[in-house]
A and B are shown apart, each in its own frame.
Chain A
Amino acid sequence: MILKKMSLINFMPFFGKAELDFPTPDSNMNVLLVFGDNMRGKTSLLNAMRWCFYQVALDRNMKAYPWNSMVNKVASRKGDWTLSVNLKFETDEGEHELIRGIEKRSSVITPLKDSDFKTSLLLKTNGKPVAGSEIESFIQRLVPEETSRFFLFDGELLQEYEDLLQEGSRQGEAIKGSIEKVLGVPALTNGRNELQLILKDANRILRAEQGKRTGHERQLEKMSELETLTTAIEGDIEELRDKLASCSRERKEIETDIVEVDRLFEKKVELDTLTNRIKEHKTTIVDGEAERLALRSGLWRELLVSKVQEKLTSLHEEQEALRQRKDLNTGKSYMLSHLEGILEKDICPTCDQEVSEGHKSKISKKLDDVRTSLSEQDVDGATNRILELSRMIGNLNDFSGSNLAQRLRFIENTIDKSNIKIIEHETKKINLEIELESTDSEAIKRKRGRYKILLQEEGRLERDIETQSENLEKYYSEYNTLSELMNITYSDKTSFLNQKINITTHLMNVFRDSIAVLRDDLKLRVEEYASEAFKQLTTQQKYKGLQINDNYGLNIIDHRDEILSIRSAGAEQIVALSLIIGLSKINMANGPVVMDTPFGRLDRKHRSSVLKYFPESANQLILLVHDGEVNKDVDLDPIKERVGLALEIVEVEPDHSKIVRISL
């Protein structure tokens, strides 16, 4: 199958019409990249395709969205309750156009449930409409719903595949079932079961014929008993399966409710946090008010601050001038004692020569000048003044350094902010309280209890089905032995029934024996392809490959040929992707693969390996990614030349997204 174009009308966040073309696989550019932030509509594009094929859109808990929630909110607010998806694609049979839509019934004002909508489904093949009754079986043949997880692929659910490694895991069993459907095993098991029923019918008719004869009444009676028994067991199994399905349905519904309960519990925690914050803000206000009151008593000082500053400046200037003068005097005193020393010793301290009379006279003159200038200075008075100035400056600094106004402004701001926060928190708190008020905690307890009971019930039903199936197998085997014996006894080459029983028994045995052979062969092939993919995708070159178990779970084999016991989240994702590729290579090599958020847990090197390898593994690859997992500027080098088209989902307004083309 090759996807050509998809058009949406009012589908989830896409108001009105939105279209996207798919790159054709005949060129080398078979990748469509769709970027979009969270909540813009990436998963909705995956769901649009799912809706078009299967009339269902699923949330992350695999629960179907109610139809009224799928119609775009902007459209529904305007009274437009129509939604449709149109998908054009090509297969070996030609060009197809599949259109699925819903529309509010005219008798309904606001649709509340799915039945308030009427549905429409149209398929055109090579321009000609296909009969309505054949459309669903065409889809089932082309893309069976049970196997859709392997081509409509939600990266957020990759961790499900880890369950394949756990024996007895219910989720693992479900995935195993899907894998076997992809691989074609059910066709053999259904064939075996139906051949058994054909055989049983033929035997019943034959026995009626044989009843007319005598000598084998005991065998005939036993066969009749076995027929009654197997029919009863088949009925029991059918009933158990119905009960199991109903149990699973109820459990899944409660599961969603429990998720809601967890969400409400988080809200309760948020409510408690808000209450504490409000309390803290109130304390801040009370403390602030008290400090503000205390500070106000000294606020008169603020009026003198500028005058004090002026005085401080002049005092500092005077102090500085005195200090400079004092430093100068110290230098002169040193010179005085130096010159006096020369005259006293008559020796020059620099050249150690006797001082001449001429020089002595010059030195005496200099000494007189220095003495005169020193006697004019009141050195002690200057020192005392400097000390006095320091004291005055200290006092004034104490006076002006309080920054009362600044502190008051800060306190008032804090009080204002706290008041605003209290109003914000109170509003949030009221909303949360209203939301929590409507929650019935007793009902929640009951639901949790019911959930546990249902889980146990499912386990019990599954075991019962298994036991009954084993019994059925045993009784059928006994029945078939008797049947063969009777046929030999009444060997009649021209008897139609005998011939039919012979050939049906033979065919049934071939189908039965082939199931195990097919399973083993398929596992080997999946292991081989997945290992090949894994070696390309992993950045740890020492790993030897993957080893498959009975559930199709894949273990990593390390360089010592041992199973790797601890795997990182990224390794789990790589293994899951390898399994998907392995399955694709066996069955879906010619199909498209749509992947939503597939790189969530991968580091950059693994992302690069996956981006490089994936375009080779499908004929069309549609990647729905956000900037956080693939950086347009850094990560796209390995895939750039394979990208046929790049799009981005952008928000026009809340509840309204549109798709725009971008260049890389």
Chain B
Amino acid sequence: MKISNKSMAIDILKRVEGSSSEQIIEILEACYKIQNSHQYETERKQSRTEMESVIDEYVKSIISIEEGQK
């Protein structure tokens, strides 16, 4: 029994985002999955750390691409 409405929520995130950036969609999906797997109130700090690390990784990759292009 998987009590979540994961695919529906992810579809909505994609729809609202409306971006063509595959990476942004991947990040949205990753963020949602992190939240979905940490539903306890006591897990908030852990989920925040995980989300922040996904964002940091993404930013680092953008910067390295941009630096590479220079």
Contacts and interface: CB of A to CB of B under 8 A. Distances in A.
A184 B8 contact: yes
A496 B55 contact: no
A147 B3 contact: yes
A36 interface: no
Nearest to A592: B1
A591 B37 CA distance: 18
A496 B63 contact: yes
Interface in A173-232: 181-184, 186-188, 190-191, 194-195, 197-198
Given A496-B59, A506-B24, A592-B1, A186 B39 contact: yes
A164 to B, nearest CB: 19
Contact of A194 (B2, B51, B56, B62): B51
A500 B47 CA distance: 17
Contact of A522 (B5, B32, B48, B51): B5
A304 interface: no
A592 B55 CA distance: 38
A188 B37 contact: no
Interface of B: 1-6, 8-9, 12-13, 15-17, 24, 27-28, 31-32, 35-37, 39-40, 43-44, 47-48, 51-52, 55-56, 58-60, 62-63, 66-67
Nearest to A589: B1
Contact of A518 (B1, B9, B52): B9
Contacts of A188: 9, 13, 32, 35
Contacts, number: 120
B4 A184 contact: yes
Contacts of A499: 59, 62-63
B55 to A, nearest CB: 6
B48 A197 contact: yes
B3 to A, nearest CB: 5
Contact of A500 (B1, B36, B37, B59): B59
Interface in A485-507: 493-494, 496, 499-500, 503-504, 506-507
Contact of B9 (A187, A194, A198): A187
B17 A591 contact: no
A588 B35 contact: no
A143 B16 contact: no
Contacts of A510: 13, 16-17, 28
A281 to B, nearest CB: 61
A1 B1 CA distance: 5
Contacts of B5: 182-184, 518, 522, 586-587
B36 A184 contact: yes
Contacts of A590: 1-2
Contact of B55 (A147, A507, A513): A507
A137 B36 CA distance: 12
24 contacts: A137-B40, A140-B39, A140-B40, A141-B39, A147-B3, A182-B5, A187-B39, A188-B9, A190-B47, A194-B44, A195-B31, A197-B48, A198-B51, A499-B62, A503-B55, A507-B31, A510-B17, A511-B31, A514-B12, A514-B16, A517-B15, A517-B16, A521-B8, A587-B3
Given A510-B16, A588-B1, A195 B51 contact: yes
Contacts of A187: 4, 9, 32, 35-36, 39
B39 to A, nearest CB: 6
Given A151-B1, A518-B9, A191 B35 contact: yes
Closest 4 CB pairs of A and B: A591-B1, A184-B5, A187-B35, A1-B1
Contacts of B36: 184, 187
Contacts of B35: 186-188, 190-191, 194
B56 A500 contact: yes
Nearest to B67: A494
Given A198-B51, A507-B55, A514 B3 contact: no
B48 to A, nearest CB: 4
A295 to B, nearest CB: 78
A181 to B, nearest CB: 8
Contacts of A144: 3, 39
B50 to A, nearest CB: 10
A495 B27 CA distance: 20
A494 B5 CA distance: 38
Contacts of A517: 12, 15-16
A191 B51 contact: yes
Contact of B8 (A146, A147, A522): A522
B1 to A, nearest CB: 3
Contacts of B52: 198
Given A141-B37, A500-B55, A517-B16, A194 B27 contact: no
B9 A494 contact: no
A143 B1 contact: yes
A506 B19 CA distance: 11
B44 A190 contact: yes
A142 interface: yes
A506 B58 CA distance: 13
A510 B29 CA distance: 12
Contacts of A140: 39-40
Contacts of B13: 188, 510-511, 514
B67 A184 contact: no
B27 to A, nearest CB: 7
B3 A507 contact: no
Contact of B31 (A181, A191, A521): A191
A507 B52 CA distance: 11
B37 to A, nearest CB: 6
Given A142-B1, A144-B39, A187-B39, A198 B48 contact: yes
Given A186-B35, A499-B59, A514-B9, 9 more contacts: A142-B3, A144-B3, A182-B5, A187-B4, A188-B13, A188-B32, A191-B32, A496-B60, A504-B55
Contacts of A506: 24
Contacts of B15: 517
A222 B58 CA distance: 30
Contacts of A496: 59-60, 63
Contacts of A586: 5
Interface in A69-89: none
